[in-house]
Amino acid sequence: MKVAKAVTGLIEAFERLPGIGPKTAARLTYYLLHVPQAELDRFASAVSDLKRNTVECEICHNISETSPCDICDDPNRDKSLICVVEQPLDVLAIERGDGYKGVYHVLHGTIDPLHNIGPDEIKISPLISRIQDSRFKIQEIILALNPNMEGEATSLYIKRMINDQCSMFNIKMTRLAHGLPVGGDIEYADDRTLTHAMEGRREY
């Protein structure tokens, strides 16, 4: 049976998204066929505007409408305390807990040799430059990376880079402690777990 090109094209587009297999892509596509055109137009517009109406914060590299972002620009935030996370979704998860009052640094990934992702492919160099910038007066770095092999490797690399290049600043390094299961992702942790993990962080 010949499938319409528009249907095939959308199925293939959905399949390129992470976690979407061929069956899910087909179900989503055929579901959208039954959605009213006005709602479909709004959906298409939201996707189209996604890149146009967002920027990467020049300081923390989080995704925002402005640069600097609202968190970096907030005078009530403790700018001497940086929580290093893998993805913007991790910022949202920690913010939901409402127990952290510092700022962030988003790496946009982890070191993963199996997928050819090295230190230069993620935002480690900007973090080092930020620590070295005397305007920020950084006192503590919280390594809030996911407790898996890639997160551990990235944390160790960052620790070594800070020790090698920022030793004169006497930076305290801590990491999230109890509450996060080994192999689990910060994105899926509940608010209370994240709050306890932040409060119980230990020196790294």
Residue of 115, 180, 188, 194 whose CA lies nearest to 147: 180
Q: Output the pLDDT for position 182.
A: 55
The answer as to whether 128 is a domain residue is yes
The answer as to whether 57 is a domain residue is no
The answer as to whether 118 is a domain residue is yes
Q: Output the pLDDT for position 177.
A: 66
93, 170: one domain? yes
Q: Which two tokens stand for residue 190?
A: 């509940």
Q: Output the pLDDT for position 70.
A: 96
115, 169: one domain? yes
The answer as to whether 68 is a domain residue is no
150, 184: one domain? yes
Instruction: Write the Ramachandran bin of 36: left for phi over 0, alpha for psi from -120 to 50, otherwise beta.
Output: beta
The answer as to whether 65 is a domain residue is no
Q: Which two tokens stand for residue 128?
A: 């080092």
101, 33: one domain? no
Question: Domain with 30 in it: what CATH number?
Answer: 1.10.8.420
Expressed as residue numbers, the domain containing 102 is 76-203
35, 121: one domain? no
**Is pTM, for the whole model, over 0.85?**
no
144, 189: one domain? yes
The answer as to whether 60 is a domain residue is no
List all residues 6 or more positions away from 75 whose beta carbon is below 8 Å from its beta carbon.
none
24, 107: one domain? no
Per-residue pLDDT of the chain (204 residues; tens, 9 = 90+): 788 999 999 999 999 999 999 999 999 999 999 999 999 999 999 999 999 999 999 999 999 999 999 999 999 999 999 999 999 999 999 998 888 999 999 999 999 988 899 999 999 999 999 999 988 899 999 999 988 899 999 999 999 999 999 988 889 999 876 555 656 677 777 776 777 677 666 676
Return the half-sphere exposure (C-beta side, CA atoms, 13 A cut-off) of residue 32: 17
84, β-bridge pairs: 105, 143
Query: How many domains are contained in the chain?
Result: 2
- Contact, 84 vs 61, CB < 8 A? no
Q: Output the pLDDT for position 14.
A: 96
The answer as to whether 154 is a domain residue is yes
192, 146: one domain? yes
In DSSP notation, the chain reads -PPPHHHHHHHHHHHTSTT--HHHHHHHHHHHTTS-HHHHHHHHHHHHHHHHT-EE-TTT--EESSSS-TTTT-TTSEEEEEEEESSHHHHHHHHHHT---EEEEE-SS--BGGGTB-GGGTTHHHHHHHHH-TTT---EEEE---SSHHHHHHHHHHHHHHHHHSGGG--EEEE--TTSPTT--GGGS-HHHHHHHHHT-EE-
Burial 62-95 (b: 16+ CB within 10 A, else e): bbbeeebbebbeeeebebebbbbbbbbebbebbe
The answer as to whether 59 is a domain residue is no
146, 103: one domain? yes
Q: Which two tokens stand for residue 123?
A: 């935002």
